[in-house]
């Protein structure tokens, strides 16, 4: 039942209405908060965890932003439901494996989620598609301020909000951007970028955070420190780094096109062909192929509507989503076969890439075609 409500509702991750950005897929702000005079979840005994859940769950669920949303205790969720929520970045892997008395509240549009009894008593996060830190901060600040009126936060006038992990003490804020950086990966410059931003107190992780792979050339870029800076200062500092990375990615794209365009066109053309004709695809291979097609959209080889399809596939090709779409329990080989079948259907109406835009070739009535295609979908 929870899965159906997740799939039936519009998601900020899969159907964000913001203007799509060539490099930034989404922005996220997360706040860590704890209740005063209450042990952190990892130290708390079962009665204390129960009290935190019984206090926080109704307080969060009653917020205006969370009305008609989803409220659940983690132990009530199936393994598949938890996996899908992780794949949609609505809960963390840590919460999915939490012991008793943990919960989550998710807004109807899936842009706001609040985890209860994860590493901290509360993890409040807002996700926005595209490059929209201001909107994300405004939304999370409203939720946080409203909860602060209802709950007694653990706060020190000297150092700020108290958190389970010392690196979160202060503002308790993690701001991050999900970035698509195919040119930096193809040109083998990503390692150099990671080393440079690490020295600026910025972390670079894979698609699903710490310890995950950067499948599809997608990276999470976030602040590492939260103490000694205001929320606005953290966002400003991170934004400056992100703009530098965006510039480096765009420069890398120009150099690839100048140096050996046919090699890039070959990669994109092969990706398109495999997605339309394959019969076995792993989630990692799907991510890498979809990444190349999205790169092609940025280069105007595909219609803008194709970007929406690709961005959905980044989520929907993940194992939990494929398992749900199959409607039954399937093993790895069956999942790879079903994934390829699903992708063939998604890409069957995607027109072949145009590799000669410089010769004045244009896609006929692309706007009308995209519009009618969107109605069919």
What is the count of structural domains for the chain? 2
Do 107 and 149 have their domain in common? yes
Task: Give the domain-ending residue among 254, 274, 294.
Answer: 254
Q: What token pair was written down for 227?
A: 């103490």
CA separation for the pair 291, 86 (Å, rounded): 20
pLDDT one-digit tens code per residue, 24-62: 999 999 999 999 999 999 999 999 999 999 999 999 999
**What φ, ψ does residue 9 adopt, rounded to 5°?**
-80, 155
| pLDDT tens, N- to C-terminus, the chain (377 residues) | 577 777 766 676 666 544 567 899 999 999 999 999 999 999 999 999 999 999 999 999 999 999 989 999 999 999 999 999 999 999 999 999 987 899 999 999 999 999 999 999 999 999 999 999 999 999 999 999 999 999 999 999 999 999 999 999 999 999 999 999 999 999 999 999 999 999 999 999 886 666 667 789 999 999 998 888 999 999 999 999 999 999 999 999 999 999 999 999 999 999 999 999 999 999 999 999 999 999 999 999 999 889 989 999 999 999 999 999 999 899 999 999 999 999 999 999 898 888 764 444 555 444 444 444 344 43
What is the pLDDT at residue 175? 97
Chain centre distance of CA 339: 20
Per the listing, tokens 């009126």 go with 149
Q: In sequence order, what E strands does 63-167 have? A: 70-73, 103-106, 112-116, 122-129, 155-156, 160-161
Residues 216 and 295 placed together within one structural domain of the fold: no
For the chain, where are the alpha helices, taking DSSP H only? 2-8, 12-15, 46-61, 79-87, 93-96, 133-150, 182-186, 190-198, 231-259, 261-277, 283-298, 304-316, 319-326, 332-347, 366-376
Asked which of 232, 254, 276 is the last residue of a domain, the reply is 254
Query: 189 lies in which domain range?
Result: 2-254
Query: Is 15 exposed, middle or buried (CB count within 10 Å of its CB: 0-12, 13-18, 19+)?
Result: middle
Residues 153 and 33 grouped into a single domain: yes
Q: What is the rounded CA–CA span in Å between residue 305 and residue 303?
A: 5
Give the pair of three-digit tokens for residue 162. Answer: 């108290």
How far is residue 197's CA from residue 203's CA, in Å, rounded to a whole number? 7
User: What local confidence, expressed as pLDDT, does residue 355 receive?
Assistant: 79
Neighbours of 2 (CB within 10 A): 18
Residue keyed to tokens 């072949």: 352
Please tell me whether residues 146 and 9 are part of one structural domain: yes
Q: Are residues 128 and 12 part of one domain? A: yes
Q: Quickly tell me which residue has 């990966």 as its tokens.
A: 185
Contacts of 34 (CB under 8 A, 6+ apart): 40, 120, 121, 122, 153, 154, 161, 162, 163, 164
Whether residues 148 and 163 fall in one domain: yes
Which of 254, 274, 307 finishes a domain? 254
- Are 205 and 281 found together in one domain? no
8 shares a domain with 131: yes
Report pLDDT for 105. 97
250 and 275 assigned to the same domain: no
Same domain membership, residue 219 and residue 361:
no
How far is it, in rounded angstroms, from Cα 63 to Cα 142?
10
The reply to whether 161 and 298 lie within a common domain is no
pTM: 0.89
pLDDT for the residue 215: 85
Q: Do both 265 and 237 map to the same domain?
A: no
User: Which of 183, 195, 141 lies closest to 291 in space, CA to CA?
Assistant: 183
**CATH number for 13:** 3.30.590.10
pLDDT tens track for 101-112:
999 999 999 999
């Amino acid at each position: 039942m929870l899965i159906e409500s997740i799939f039936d509702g519009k998601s900020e991750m899969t159907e964000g209405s913001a203007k799509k950005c060539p490099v930034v897929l989404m922005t996220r702000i997360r706040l860590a908060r704890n209740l005063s005079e209450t042990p952190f979840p990892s130290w708390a005994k079962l009665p204390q965890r129960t009290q935190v859940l019984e206090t926080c769950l109704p307080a969060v669920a009653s917020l205006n932003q969370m009305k008609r949303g989803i409220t659940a205790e983690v132990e009530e969720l199936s393994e598949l439901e938890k996996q899908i929520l992780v794949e949609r970045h609505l809960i963390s892997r840590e919460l999915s494996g939490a012991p008793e008395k943990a919960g989550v509240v998710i807004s109807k549009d899936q842009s706001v989620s609040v985890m209860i009894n994860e590493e901290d008593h509360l993890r409040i996060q807002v996700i926005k598609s595209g490059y929209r830190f201001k909107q994300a901060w405004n939304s999370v600040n409203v939720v946080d301020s409203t909860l602060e009126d209802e709950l007694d936060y653990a706060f020190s006038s000297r150092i700020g909000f108290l958190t389970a992990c010392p690196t979160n003490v202060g503002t308790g804020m993690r701001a991050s951007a999900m970035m698509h950086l195919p040119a930096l990966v193809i040109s083998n410059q990503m390692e150099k970028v990671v080393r440079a931003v690490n020295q600026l107190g910025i972390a670079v992780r894979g698609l699903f955070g710490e310890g995950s792979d950067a499948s599809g050339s997608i990276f999470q870029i976030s602040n590492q420190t939260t103490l000694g800076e205001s929320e606005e200062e953290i966002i400003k500092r991170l934004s400056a780094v992100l703009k530098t990375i965006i510039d480096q990615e765009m420069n890398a794209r120009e150099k690839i096109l100048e140096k050996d365009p046919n090699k890039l066109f070959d990669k994109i053309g092969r990706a398109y062909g495999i997605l339309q004709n394959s019969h076995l695809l792993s989630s990692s291979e799907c991510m890498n192929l979809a990444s190349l097609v999205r790169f092609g959209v940025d280069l105007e080889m595909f219609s803008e509507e194709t970007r929406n399809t690709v961005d959905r596939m980044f989520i929907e090709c993940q194992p939990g989503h494929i398992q749900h779409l199959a409607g039954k329990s399937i093993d790895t080989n069956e999942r790879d076969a079903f994934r390829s079948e699903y992708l063939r259907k998604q890409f069957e109406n995607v027109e072949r890439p145009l590799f000669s835009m410089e010769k004045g070739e244009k896609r006929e009535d692309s706007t009308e075609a995209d519009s009618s295609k969107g109605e069919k979908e």
